[in-house]
Amino acid sequence: MKRFLIFRTDRIGDFIASKIIIESIKSENRYNKIDIVCSKYNKKYISYYNSTNKLFILEKGNFFNYLKNIKLCRNFNYDYLILLDGKRRSLIFSFFIKSNFKILLFKRKNLSNLIAKLFSYNTFFNSEKTFQFDNFKKLLKIIKISPITKFNYYKDYKFKNKKFFNFKSFLHLHLDEKWFEGYHYNDFDYMGLNSKNINTFLFFLLQKYKKQIIITSGFKKISILEEIIKSNFIKKTNNFHHKLYKSKVIFFKNLDFRDLEQFVKKCKILIACEGAISHVSNSLNVPSVILIQKNRKQTALFWTGHMNLINRIYRSPIKNVIKQINKIKL
C-alpha cells in the first residue's frame, strides 16, 4: 500500500480531467491511499468520489488555514506528492510535507519551476502541443504506475439521487455566462445574443433535432436570459417533476453542478461552451456540440482532444453558429 498526496486546488473540470491518475493508482492497488489538497470550489464535488481519502482545503489568502493544513498533512509520510495544479501556493505548501518523491507539472518556465528544481523536485513539462490526457499517462509512467486502458470518470462516483420521470428524450442546451458578452473573458468572440436571435436559435434546434429542449444556466444572473424567460415560448421551473414537462422548451435556472450532471446523463444531445460540462458529456457517452474560441483552439484540444464524442465549432455570431451546427450529424 502506498500513500499519495495530489494537489488540485483549482476547479471541478480540472479535477475531472485528472481522474485517470486517481483511477490508475487505485487500479495498481485498491488499498492505495489518495489524499487531495483541493479548493473551496471543488472540495464538495471531490467528496462524492469513493476513490479519494482525506481532503485538505487550501483557502487562498487564509494564512491560518494554510498552517492548519500543513500541520494535518505532516501527520503522514507520503510515498508520492504530485503537484497537478502548478500553483505557487501549492508548491510552497509542499515544501513542508514529508514525501519520498515529489513532482511538479508546469506549462512554462517560471520561478516556481526553478525553485522546485533547487529543492530536488522532479519536474514534468505539461506541453499543450499534446493532449492533457496523454501527458497524464506519461506522468503515471514516471511514478511507475501503469495507466488504465478502460477508463470511466464516474466509476466510483455517487450521483445525486434525482429522478427525471417526465424527461425522456431531450436536447440539453447549457447557456452559461460564456455565451454572453460582458460576463466572461473580454477577448472571446461572442454570439451577439439577444432575445430575438435566441428564439431563432431555439426554433432551429427544435426543427433540426425534433426533441424537447431543456435550458440550464450558469451561476451568474444574465439579463437577456431573464428577458426571454418572460415569453410564453419558454417555461421556467426548478421542479424536476413539474407538469410543464410537455412544453417544447423548459428553463431550469441556477442548478448546482451535480444537477447539471443529471441532465447531461439523461439527455440525448448536449450543446454548450467548452468547460467541465464537456468532460461530463464525453464520460457519460453523450454526443455533444461544444463551442470553442478559434484563437484558443490548441488549448481546447489540449483538454478535450482525446474525447471522441465531442463536435467542436467556433464561437461566432449566432447565424454562423446555426450554420455550423446544421452541418453536424448526430
Domains of the chain by residue range: 3-142, 170-326
- Contact call for residues 126 and 105 (beta carbons, < 8 A): yes
E strand spans, 218-315: 235-236, 249-252, 269-273, 288-292, 310-314
Helix (H) or strand (E) holding 24: helix 19-28
**pTM of structure:** 0.90
Q: CA–CA separation, 29 vs 128, rounded Å? A: 30
Is 170-326 in the same CATH topology as 3-142?
Answer: yes
Q: CA–CA separation, 86 vs 106, rounded Å? A: 6
C-alpha cell of 228? 426571454
- Contact call for residues 21 and 140 (beta carbons, < 8 A): yes
Q: CA–CA separation, 285 vs 3, rounded Å? A: 32
Q: Which amino acid is at 325?
A: I
What is the CA 171 to chain-centroid distance, rounded? 20
Q: Which amino acid is at 176?
A: D
What is the CA 313 to chain-centroid distance, rounded? 18
Three-state secondary structure call for residue 290:
strand
Three-state secondary structure call for residue 130:
coil
Using alpha carbons only, how large is the chain's radius of gyration in Å? 21
Considering the four listed CATH numbers 2.40.40.20, 3.40.50.2000, 3.40.50.150, 3.30.310.10, the one that applies to the domain covering 170-326 is: 3.40.50.2000
Between the CA of residue 210 and those of 138, 167, 204, 252, 312, what are the distances in Å?
Answer: 43, 14, 10, 20, 21
**pLDDT at position 12, please?**
92
Written as tens digits, the pLDDT of the chain (330 aa) is 999 999 999 999 999 999 999 999 999 999 999 999 999 999 999 999 999 999 999 998 899 999 999 999 999 999 999 999 989 899 999 999 999 999 999 887 776 777 777 778 898 889 888 999 999 999 999 999 999 987 788 888 998 876 665 677 899 999 999 999 887 777 889 899 988 899 899 999 999 999 999 999 988 888 888 777 766 566 666 655 444 455 788 888 878 899 899 899 999 999 999 999 999 999 999 999 999 999 999 999 999 999 999 999 999 999 999 999 999 998
Sign of dihedral through CA atoms 267, 268, 272, 275?
positive
Three-state secondary structure call for residue 172:
strand
Q: Which CATH superfamily is domain 3-142 in?
A: Glycogen Phosphorylase B; (3.40.50.2000)
Between the CA of residue 167 and those of 205, 224, 232, 247, 266, what are the distances in Å?
Answer: 17, 26, 20, 11, 8
Q: Which amino acid is at 104?
A: L
What is the CA 267 to chain-centroid distance, rounded? 18
- Contact call for residues 319 and 193 (beta carbons, < 8 A): no
